[in-house]
Amino acid sequence: MDSFSSLSQEIKNYLPDLELYENEPMKEHCSFKIGGPARLFALPDSEEQLQKLCLFLRERGQKPLIIGKGTNLLVTDEPLDGFVIKISDKLSEVRKLGETGLFAQCGISLARLASEAAQLSLKGLEFAHGIPGCLGGAVYMNAGAYGGEMKDVVKAAVCLDEELNFNKLYDEELDFSYRHSAFTGTEKIILGCEMELNFGDEGEIKAKMRELSERRRVSQPLDKPSGGSTFKRPKDGYAAALIDECGLKGFSIGGAQVSEKHAGFVINRGNASFYDVIRLMEHIRETVLSRRGVELSPELRIIDKI
């Protein structure tokens, strides 16, 4: 029995109700449909179970990779010799706070969260309705679209801190900026968020969500596997426009291609490898830098090991 099989058995004895898998294909948990097997893969069903699991792993020298819906992840094709914890819709409670507030757990999808708010005649989350992914991932990177960002609505976040204690961050402590938060690049684990919204007309809110969803459908390659926007928006410009100006729409390496519909997306044509995408991203960055003098930074979270 190898060390991970032994660890798996220990966890099953310690947390018998935990949903735990060995050699789970990561491509099934990433919108890019790329990714090799994770040696161990768990889906906790409560915040307490998540904390117990993380403490157990820390005692054994394991540092897990935490993921949500995997909508901005690019994961290596090679086996991930480590432990992955997925924050799924098992953690998706949502409840009203006061007149115009909401609390939601981190595993809830943004689509469901925005719909729940609309049914309560609360506006402010319309921009998030069409963003794939879950609340935790959106707060982690301060996701945004169509003029809105998570920082506009999130007022507090409950988390496990670096010591794996329950903690709560408020307002300025969240340190929101463009595609960044206090959680970005840290070992803190987002558990849930408090949001402050505004009263609105339910019909108008839902109409706005439909409008933004249609704009997204028309302009983005939603029918192809991808990780969403490939690069962050550079200062004084847009990555998609720069890529298009360099004549890279439709350019491909292996199974990875710059979308012909929206140059800001690299898509998987069906058989793309991790390195196809990496090489294509490098080619895009080098071309834009040499022709436009702008250095693009990846918006994708790239995982090549745990």
Of 63, 86, 109, which one is at a domain's C-terminal end? 86
Indicate the pTM of the whole model.
0.94
Cα dihedral 180, 183, 189, 190 sign: negative
141 and 43 part of one domain: no
- Answer whether residue 216 is part of any domain: no
Domain count, the chain: 3
Closest to 227 in 3D by CA, of 177, 295, 274? 274
98 and 73 part of one domain: no
Q: What is the CATH classification number for the domain harbouring 191?
A: 3.30.465.10
192 and 110 part of one domain: yes
Beta strands in 48-100 (DSSP E): 65-67, 73-75, 80-86, 94-97
238 and 192 part of one domain: no
Q: What is the pLDDT of residue 222?
A: 94
- Answer whether residue 67 is part of any domain: yes
Known catalytic membership, residue 95: no
190 and 275 part of one domain: no
Q: What is the pLDDT of residue 1?
A: 58
67 and 103 part of one domain: no
- Answer whether residue 265 is part of any domain: yes
198 and 236 part of one domain: no
Known catalytic membership, residue 299: yes
Of 60, 86, 112, which one is at a domain's C-terminal end? 86
Q: What averages of pLDDT result for each successive group of 10 residues across the chain (306 residues)?
A: 87 97 98 98 98 97 96 97 96 97 98 97 96 95 94 98 97 96 96 98 97 94 96 93 98 98 97 98 98 96 92
- Which structural domain range is residue 183 located in? 94-205
Known catalytic membership, residue 88: no
- Answer whether residue 213 is part of any domain: no
Q: What is the pLDDT of residue 220?
A: 96
Closest to 83 in 3D by CA, of 66, 97, 95, 70? 66
81 and 98 part of one domain: no
Query: Per the residue annotation, which of 8, 31, 92, 179 is the catalytic one?
Result: 179
- Answer whether residue 212 is part of any domain: no
Q: What is the CATH classification number for the domain harbouring 45?
A: 3.30.43.10
The 80-86 sheet, strands edge to edge:
19-25, 37-43, 80-86, 65-67
Of 86, 103, 135, which one is at a domain's C-terminal end? 86
Query: Per the residue annotation, which of 229, 233, 259, 285 is the catalytic one?
Result: 229
- Answer whether residue 46 is part of any domain: yes
- Answer whether residue 122 is part of any domain: yes
Closest to 124 in 3D by CA, of 94, 156, 147, 95? 147
Alpha-carbon dihedral 2, 6, 8, 10, rounded to 10 degrees? -170
Query: Per the residue annotation, which of 126, 149, 194, 299 is the catalytic one?
Result: 299
* Tens-place pLDDT, residues 173-203: 999 999 999 999 999 999 999 999 999 999 9
- Answer whether residue 16 is part of any domain: yes
For tokens 């204690």, what's the residue?
Answer: 165
